[in-house]
Each structure stands twice: as structure tokens, then as C-alpha cells.
Amino acid sequence: MAKKVLVIGEVRDGELRNVSFEAIAAGKTVANGGEVVGVLLGKNVSGLSEEMAQYGVDRIVVVDHADLVSYSTDAYQQALLQVFDVENPEGVILGHTSIGKDVSPRLAMKLQSGLVSDAVSVELDGEDAVFTRPIYSGKAFEKKKVKEGVVFATIRPNNIAALEPDPARKADVSNLKVEIKDLRTTIKNVVRKATGGVDLSEANVVVAGGRGVKSKEGFEPLQELADLLGGAVGASRGACDADYCDYGLQIGQTGKVVTPDLYFAIGISGAIQHLAGMSNSKVIVAINKDPEAPIFEIADYGIVGDLFEIVPILTEELKNVLVKS
């Protein structure tokens, strides 16, 4: 049965995050031939409608409000519930990001709906959408099907391929006025501690360092390698605890979960807490001086040796290859 599915676009620094386009692809599957409606929240965000349309939505609802400039739980919840009241969707999809993880359970509770969180794939079983999600820190997977009520899910970034954008594709755009009141919190200023560049959770290449990097300066060659490959730098909890880098770069069970095409684990032993955040990466390259390090058990490629010698050589060789190509 065809469904109307809302896809919540996530805006950061005036741009749509890639996971928004991946959510549209998931929404198309769930809709099963029905209508996919994109939702844009923020201030002066209507200009993003064209890009959202190119990735496959049939219609777009823009909610423009001063209280939506920066994310706050109360403001987003109030605005989205009013969108739901007007649209009455049968499905809701958004990214499993810090925003998605915060607002989705609140919305699901208000809708009296179940929630499938952190899905890495979605497929149809007859007319029902079946979501696959990791459990036990990525050691196993389970399949979830919503049998009654709204099909509500968050999807893990960098797992479900977005549709190819079509510049000729258009979508009807409407504006919805919402009332936001009695906010318990107000965002006055946002200070970003993490470095700029490629978003870690959406990066196709991640270069991660552990305690073996030994210092803040030890992360500089990793940053150079990441910049060369158009990737992002990450870290183990041990490196963050040692104050080699900011906790915003932490990957693992208590940090970010990443699934890039290529993951470099440099000076990382491979504690189970870290593996929970990166073990589903498509290709894993481990560099460690300890041949018995657990990271080698899951690595596709392993290099045993001094990272301070290997990383610069690897970077120079890649420069030569990339220049020739």
C-alpha cells in the first residue's frame, strides 16, 4: 500500500547535510509508490528546496521561524508536531544524528508510535518496510517491521545510498506558519569545538588516531593524510582522554559511529568500545607497532611498524598516485 512519508531535512550552517538525501532514498522505499514530502525547518531555508527536490521528494513544506535558527528540542518538537497535524503522514524518516537521536523519541511518544532507530538499510517485504539495524555494538543485526501506526525511523549516515540528483526534477513548495511558545531553553550562541572541514559522521574517508599518536602534534600527519583524501580526522577515547584532541572527534560506543568507505586506524589498539563505532567501515587499514593488537583482527589491511615513519611515507606515495591520476 502506498504511503505518505515525511523526510525531515537537516540543515547545518545553511546547507543540507548528506544524510538528508539518504533519508529521501529511504523514504522513497517506505512510501512504496506514495508521496514523499520533504520538511525544511529553520530561518531563510526556502532556498534549499531546489536541492532537496533534485534528490527525489515530491513536495516540500518549509517552516520558517526565528526560533528554529539553531536546534533546540522544544522548538523543533513543537514545529514538527504542527507539520504532522497538517500532513497526517504514515511514515517519518530522519537522520540518526545528534538532532535525530534527540527529537525522534519525543516525536514518536507524541504520535503514540514505535521507533526504529539507527537503521542501516530498508527494503520492502510485500507492502511492509523492513529495517535492518545493528545490535550488540555491531556484532549482530536485527530486522524490524512496523506493523501498526506510523512507520517512524532514523537512518545511520553513510549507509543508504542517496538517489542520483536530477537538476530537472522539481517539487511543489509550500510554507507553513507554526506557533512556537513557552520555550524552556533559548540558544544564544553556538561555539563549535571540533575542527571544520568534512563532517566526521558523513565522511567517506576517516583517519583516526589513538594513544599511539602520543601528542596533539602527533595528529598533524593524520590531518594531512585526511586532507589529501578529502576525509575527516577521528580519534579513540584514549586519545581524547589524554587530551591529544577534542572529544568531538571521539569514535566508539560513547562517541560517534562512522561507516566510511575507508577507515585508517592509526596507533589504535582496537578496544571493543572503539570497534563499536567503526567496525562496519567498508575497508579498514590498521597501522600499529604491536602485531598482536586486536585491531588487526578486523582490519582488511594491516601494517606493523612505527606510525611516525609509515604515515608520512604513505602520504607521499598517495600524493604521487593522485597527481598521476
Alpha helices in 229-263 (DSSP H): 237-241
Residue with cell 517506505: 30
Adjacency order of strands within the sheet including 5-8:
116-119, 151-155, 91-95, 5-8, 36-42, 59-64, 172-175
Helix, strand or coil, per DSSP, at residue 24: helix
Between CA 92 and CA 27 the distance in angstroms is 8
Per-residue DSSP letters for 41-102? EESS-GGGHHHHHHTT-SEEEEEE-GGGSS--HHHHHHHHHHHHHHH--SEEEEESSHHHHH
Task: Tell which residue, 74, 82, 104, 103, has the closest CA to residue 187.
Answer: 74
Q: Residue 309 in contact with residue 214, Cβ under 8 Å? A: no
**Is 42 annotated to bind ligand?**
no
Element (H, E) at 141: strand 140-145
**Is 267 annotated to bind ligand?**
yes
**Is 271 annotated to bind ligand?**
yes
**Is 269 annotated to bind ligand?**
yes
**Is 186 annotated to bind ligand?**
no
Task: Tell which residue, 233, 202, 201, has the closest CA to residue 218.
Answer: 233
**Is 279 annotated to bind ligand?**
no
**Is 252 annotated to bind ligand?**
yes
Between CA 111 and CA 120 the distance in angstroms is 23
Between CA 61 and CA 66 the distance in angstroms is 16
**Is 106 annotated to bind ligand?**
no
**Is 77 annotated to bind ligand?**
no
Q: Residue 60 in contact with residue 174, Cβ under 8 Å? A: yes
**Is 272 annotated to bind ligand?**
yes
**What residue numbers does the annotated binding site for FAD cover?**
211, 236-237, 250-254, 267-274, 288
**What residue numbers does the annotated binding site cover?**
211, 236-237, 250-254, 267-274, 288
